[in-house]
Amino acid sequence: MATRISCPSCTRLLLLPADCTAEVLTCPQCRAEIPNPQGTNTPSPVQAELPPARETSSPPPSIPSPLIPDFRNDDVDFRDNRDEMSKWTVTLSVCGGLGIAYALFGSFVALRGGEIWPLLIVTSVLMVFVLFSTVAVLRRHPNDSMGTLAGRIILGTLSTIGVGVSVVVLLGLAAFIVMFVVCLANGAKC
């Protein structure tokens, strides 16, 4: 029967097959070395020949870990919803990019008129969103490479701004519909 063990590094629950006797195991998620509670240092009582001598100059080849992640106790839903999530992420990122472009265009127009405050406000708000996204990404993916982290931060910033832009557009559309209905109710006298 398989034994449940917990990785000391990432605390992931793992199933250890009953026939595994390796001394050290590797976590499939974080690659931490885990001492095997079932490991044996003594040779089996029945041996046909002596085991080959180990060379001390080269390390032994790495053997894939027989550990299997135990997903039964996780609260995460592992259904394949990557396509749905990526469509929403791309849509929100495009909305965020359009919102940033609109805000920067408006602030540059104001800058040509001698007003610097709109540009300072837009860049300050953008930096706050980048900082928020950076903290969120580093909490969720601390072991990613710098390139992956940068991509996640950019996508997270654009998506977050996209949510804000979408909310503003939907509220503006709702206000327009309410005003249109009020005008119709007054006999088109607005």
Domain range enclosing 13: 8-41+54-73
Q: What is the mean pLDDT of the chain?
A: 78
My answer on whether 60 and 112 are in the same domain is no
Determine the pLDDT at residue 162.
92
Q: How many domains does the chain have?
A: 2
Q: What percent of the chain has pLDDT over 90?
A: 28
The dihedral over CA atoms of 26, 29, 32, 35, expressed in degrees to the nearest 10, equals -40
Determine the pLDDT at residue 165.
92
Q: Is residue 3 part of a domain?
A: no
Question: Any idea what the Cα angle at residue 159 is, between residues 155 and 165, rounded to 5°?
Answer: 145
Distance CA 126, CA 70 (A): 41
Dihedral sign, CA of 152, 153, 158, 160?
positive
The dihedral over CA atoms of 171, 172, 177, 181, expressed in degrees to the nearest 10, equals 100
Instruction: Pick the more confident residue, 169 or 37.
Output: 169
Q: Is residue 49 part of a domain?
A: no
Q: Is residue 46 part of a domain?
A: no
pLDDT of 78 over the 60 cut = no
Which single residue is written with the structure tokens 């265009």? Answer: 105
pLDDT (tens digit, 9 = 90+) per residue, 5-46? 888 888 888 887 877 777 888 887 777 888 887 766 544 444
Instruction: Pick the more confident residue, 118 or 9.
Output: 118
Any residues with CB less than 8 A from the CB of 69 and at least 6 apart, and which? 12, 13, 14, 15, 28, 29
Q: Is residue 89 part of a domain?
A: yes
pLDDT band at residue 4 using 50, 70 and 90 as cut-offs: confident
Q: Is residue 190 part of a domain?
A: no
Q: Is residue 2 part of a domain?
A: no
Angle (deg, nearest 10), helices 117-140 and 146-185: 120
My answer on whether 97 and 119 are in the same domain is yes
My answer on whether 69 and 88 are in the same domain is no
pLDDT (tens digit, 9 = 90+) per residue, 121-136? 999 999 999 999 999 8
What is the model's pTM?
Answer: 0.51
Contact 7, 23 (CB under 8 A): no
pLDDT band at residue 85 using 50, 70 and 90 as cut-offs: low
pLDDT of 75 over the 50 cut = no
Burial of 29 (0-12, 13-18, 19+ CB in 10 A): middle
